Structure 1
């Protein structure tokens, strides 16, 4: 009996060491020359412009997906179509709600690594709303306005709670081009959790008023992501494009 217990304990230790070793491999993703970026709610593909310019200057091929914001399956399909056009390893990046898309579409064989920017990162089939309720509700939630089945963020909430660290004039331009989302989008659940098998990176926005920063930390820790913290509003990709670009370059194996 004692020998059997020792064998079981040894086997458990080997298994744990194996899992730890596999998790550690996430810090060294394969080199990638392609980056696909997906936007979330209250935005469109142009929100990645500052990051795209920096990625292009670094010699990478960057493409922003125009997320339809209709249903999760349709949003995932739009990202998959762009991923299918990439030639070789590709870093898939998502901001905010589009972390749902990255988590699901990230199992695509072209995807070499995942980057979450203040983004949702559910497990497969997880009820994200229920998960988020375990943390204090961020202020931006109260600013969502519905016109029938379409939702958007009020101007006051957009300027204060979504883009709070941007110059007001710039934030107003972003507000003017926000894409309404459909209620059905919020009901979707992921069918895959790509972060369980792909190297993952996460940028937490410490001043976030759209997703609770502690929820972001929880999701990043759960996935074992290489994590940075940026003193930023929800829109770190615009207010801190250098930090976000550097994290993407790391995920692309361009920096150690």
Structure 2
């Protein structure tokens, strides 16, 4: 009897740890797409004129799904200096190396702010890329006038906006009209004086760059975009898109940013 009791006790002692192991809930597996190396890079997104930070709303979740950290800048659009300050404030919050991305007017902003030592890559999305002492106005004047320049509304207080028709026909011509009307309402007014603000030291001279050309752009001349990409020796992607490729072709724009992140990740691993 004693030997039977001892045997039963031993059997129970053996089975209890096994049952506990079976009962323990399975832990979710780590995402196969989110690599630890890529998660060390921060992407900082800078919006352009006649827009706000929400213009990146379709790109952000695509980057986050890959485990990439993302921060956004809300530009005051009052001057190049003010927008650079806003961008550098966000750069100060970023951890690890940074891929700095600018759309439209924000190309000038990242060209000036991108000399920050954290910035390891620049991505221009249908954006200005000024030389030393060159303003956005200088770039615009060097090419034929685009349709969007004819649909600018001056509020009489030194700020410029796109008219609703301009937003529908020129700024966001390949978006659903309801979405383009929302952009009209949420657009940030651009200080007219920004067209005279000049870049001092262009970051793209020393920082590897990527460029996304909008072939159907009616805001910035597509030929300017191609020329700027060539001048910078940027890795260039051409999309059949309006000015707002970040909203009409978010997957393609996100893929370019991811390529820049991969480049920085590879460099950081050396």
TM-score normalised over the length of structure 2: 0.81
2:152 is the alignment partner of 1:144 = yes
Q: Distance in 2 between matches of 1:158 and 1:118?
A: 16
Kindly state the Cα deviation for residue 128 of structure 1 after the two structures are TM-superposed.
Answer: 3.4
Q: 2:216 aligns with which of 202, 207, 217?
A: 207
1:63-74 equivalences in 2 (<5 Å):
63-74=71-82
Kindly state the Cα deviation for residue 187 of structure 1 after the two structures are TM-superposed.
Answer: 1.8
Any gaps of 5 or more consecutive residues in structure 1?
Answer: 1-29
Greater C-alpha radius of gyration: 2
Q: Distance in 1 between matches of 2:118 and 2:178?
A: 38
**What corresponds to 1:157 in structure 2?**
166
Question: 210-219 or 146-155: which moved more?
Answer: 146-155
Structure having greater relative contact order (Cα 8 Å, sep ≥ 6): 1
Q: Distance in 2 between matches of 1:154 and 1:203?
A: 25
Q: Distance in 2 between matches of 1:94 and 1:127?
A: 16
Match of 2:197, SS?
coil
**What corresponds to 2:197 in structure 1?**
188
Contact 1:33 1:59 in 2 (8 A): no
Match of 2:122, SS?
strand
1:65-104 equivalences in 2 (<5 Å):
65-104=73-112
Contact 2:115 2:203 in 1 (8 A): yes
1:47-62 equivalences in 2 (<5 Å):
47-62=55-70
Runs of 4+ in 1 over 4 A off after TM superposition: none
**What corresponds to 2:245 in structure 1?**
236
Number of residues of Structure 1 aligned to a counterpart in Structure 2: 227
**What corresponds to 1:108 in structure 2?**
116
Match of 1:109, SS?
coil
Q: Deviations over 1:36-62 (max 9, x none)?
A: 000111100000010001010010111
The alignment's C-alpha RMSD in Å is 1.5
Match of 2:102, SS?
strand
